[in-house]
Amino acid sequence: DTEVTQTPKHLVMGMTNKKSLKCEQHMGHRAMYWYKQKAKKPPELMFVYSYEKLSINESVPSRFSPECPNSSLLNLHLHALQPEDSALYLCASSQWGSGAVNEQFFGPGTRLTVL
Amino acid sequence: AQSVTQPDIHITVSEGASLELRCNYSYGATPYLFWYVQSPGQGLQLLLKYFSGDTLVQGIKGFEAEFKRSQSSFNLRKPSVHWSDAAEYFCAVPTGANNLFFGTGTRLTVIP
């Protein structure tokens, strides 16, 4: 199984809502990632988890809160978002190793719209 | 820091024509380099990667890329484009432990 799944596919939320994005992989990867991608732009790294511990936070606002409950699951909790947070949120996973030589496998993304 | 640039924002080719997408890297030593493809509204899929050795790398879907140190380039090529190749293509380079820096992307349009 070389698939990364993400739910939901689409999410519309108000600025006062609390919602969560979910990501799952069963490839035994110990690195998992959240990216944010605006239209016609490349993905921007938000968070990296290695062995279920947060290893990188790219100065992401606290209204985004990641969680890695186990080695297969990655969540992104959303609260008090702004309209400019509307984007495609991509999850990825890879083996963990130095030099970033490992292929990252991406999920299809969650299209988030904040009203 | 390592980075990549993709000079072409948008390229249009006819179906059956050959394709070359440009990627230039900035790094003193031999970099690791990747090409990813993203179909509309989808995640990214790895087409191919270069670490060392043979400078001509074969990938999936009939794509290949050639690493040229003298030109600091890693251009993606395909001899005959299919309509299904229409997508966004990203060149990428590692910037640290498990980080990827993506180029700005090249959008490929294929016309009949």
The domain locations on chain B are 3-111
Residue of B nearest to A111 (CA): B41
Average of pLDDT values for A6-30? 94
Q: Report the pLDDT value the prediction gives residue B29, as an integer from 0 to 100.
A: 72
CATH assignment of B3-111, given 1.10.569.10, 2.40.30.30, 2.60.40.10, 3.90.550.10? Answer: 2.60.40.10
Nearest Cβ partner for B94 among A40, A43, A99? A99
Choose between A104 and A78: higher pLDDT. Answer: A78
Predicted confidence (pLDDT) at residue A99 exceeds the cutoff of 50:
no
- CA gyration radius, chain A: 13
Nearest Cβ partner for B44 among A96, A101, A106? A106
Per-position b or e across B77-109, b if 16+ CB within 10 A of its CB: ebeebeeebbbbbbbbbbeeebbbbbbbbbbbe
Average of pLDDT values for A3-30? 94
Does the distance separating the beta carbons of A104 and B97 come in below 8 Å?
no
Q: Report the pLDDT value the prediction gives residue A101, as an integer from 0 to 100.
A: 63
Nearest to A90 by CA among A41, A34, A45, A23: A34
B45 in reach of chain A (CB within 8 A): yes
Q: Report the pLDDT value the prediction gives residue A103, as an integer from 0 to 100.
A: 81
Give φ, ψ of A39 to 5 degrees: -55, 135
Task: Tell me the shortest Cα–Cα distance from B20 to chain A, in angstroms.
Answer: 19
Mutate to test the interface with A, among B98, B100, B104, B108 (most CBs of A within 10 A): B98
Q: Report the pLDDT value the prediction gives residue A72, as an integer from 0 to 100.
A: 95
Q: Report the pLDDT value the prediction gives residue B2, as an integer from 0 to 100.
A: 79
Report percent pLDDT > 70 for chain A: 94
Q: What is the mean pLDDT of chain A?
A: 91
Average of pLDDT values for A8-26? 95
Summarised one tens digit per residue, pLDDT across range B11-58 is: 999 999 999 999 999 876 778 899 999 998 788 999 999 988 889 999
